[in-house]
Amino acid sequence: MSAGKRTAILISGRGSNMLSLLEAARAPGYPAQITLVLSNRPDAAGLARARETGIATCALDHKAFPDREAFEQAMDAALVEAGIELVCLAGFMRVLTPWFVRRWEGRMINIHPSLLPLFRGTRTHEQALEAGMRVHGCTVHFVVSELDAGPIIAQACVPVHPDDDPAALAARVLVEEHRVYPQALAEVASGRAVLHEGRCVFRDA
């Protein structure tokens, strides 16, 4: 049995979704193997958490590069050097240029803390509360150049409670992120979910 698709996780912060993906990938037969954690922030707390697990890490400070393209070329080189086949964005807070997206389109997914296409961008939990939503949630999608607009692979819903503040709602959504992201990665890594003609298509693997 193959060891699974060589997968990199890109982070900018604490890395809780990274940890849930790492844990899921330890299961026998899981179709992806996490072989690299890369961050645009050398001080990202998730890097230290990744190193504790023994996984290879790479810190590329985006501010050390003259422009976005130079940073992305270095990131791409690190991924290619590591033999990466799939990329998971997990709290990676850089908008990727069309150049990088074209390099990885169909092999790069992201988790977003809202039920897309509702509430793209940032402050998603505040937006949901301001809109008076009774349900909220998270979305795993293929990454395309347009921000948070890629074809949806999986979603999970949570109830919005009357006394919710953004932090309470975020915490409830995060539990579902940790459940649905590993499921979505398995769908993509196994070939069951594919990006085809701008849509997410489910095939018998």
Ligand X SMILES: NCC(=O)N[C@@H]1O[C@H](COP(=O)([O-])[O-])[C@@H](O)[C@H]1O
Ligand Y SMILES: Nc1nc2c(c(=O)[nH]1)N[C@@H](CN(C=O)c1ccc(C(=O)N[C@@H](CCC(=O)O)C(=O)O)cc1)CN2
How far apart are CB 171 and ligand X at their closest, in Å? 10
* Residue 201: exposure state from Cβ atoms within 10 A (0-12, 13-18, ≥19): exposed
> What's the closest the beta carbon of residue 30 comes to ligand X, in angstroms?
19
Question: How far apart are the C-alpha atoms of 150 and 23, rounded to whole Å?
Answer: 26
Sign of CA dihedral 151, 155, 161, 166: negative
- Residue 49 identity (one-letter amino acid): R
Residue 150 contact, options ligand Y, ligand X, none, Cβ 5-8 Å cut-off depending on partner type: ligand Y
Is residue 40 a known part of a binding site? no
Residue 112 is a binding residue for ligand Y (CB under 6 A): yes
> Does the protein bind ligand X through residue 113 (CB under 6 A)?
yes
> E strands within 2-80?
5-11, 32-39, 57-59
Residue 10 near residue 35 (C-beta atoms within 8 A):
no
Nearest Cα neighbor of 110 from 27, 11, 3 is 11
Binding residues with ligand Y: total (CB under 6 A) = 16
Site mask, ligand Y, residues 170-199, x = CB under 6 A?
------------------------------
Residue 3's alpha-carbon distances to 27, 30, 37, 78, in angstroms, are: 11, 8, 18, 21
64 sits near ligand Y (criterion: CB under 6 A): no
Q: Tell the smallest beta-carbon distance from residue 29 to ligand Y (Å).
A: 29
Q: What's the closest the beta carbon of residue 1 comes to ligand X, in angstroms?
A: 29
Yes or no: say if 91 and 14 are a contact pair by the CB < 8 Å rule.
Answer: yes
Q: Which of 101, 109, 138, 184 binds ligand Y (CB under 6 A)?
A: 101
Residues lying near ligand Y in the complex (CB under 6 A): 89, 92-96, 101, 110, 112, 121-122, 143, 145, 147-148, 150
Give the footprint of ligand X on this chain (CB under 6 A): 11, 13-17, 46, 90-91, 111-113, 138, 174, 177
Residues marked as binding? 15-17, 68, 110
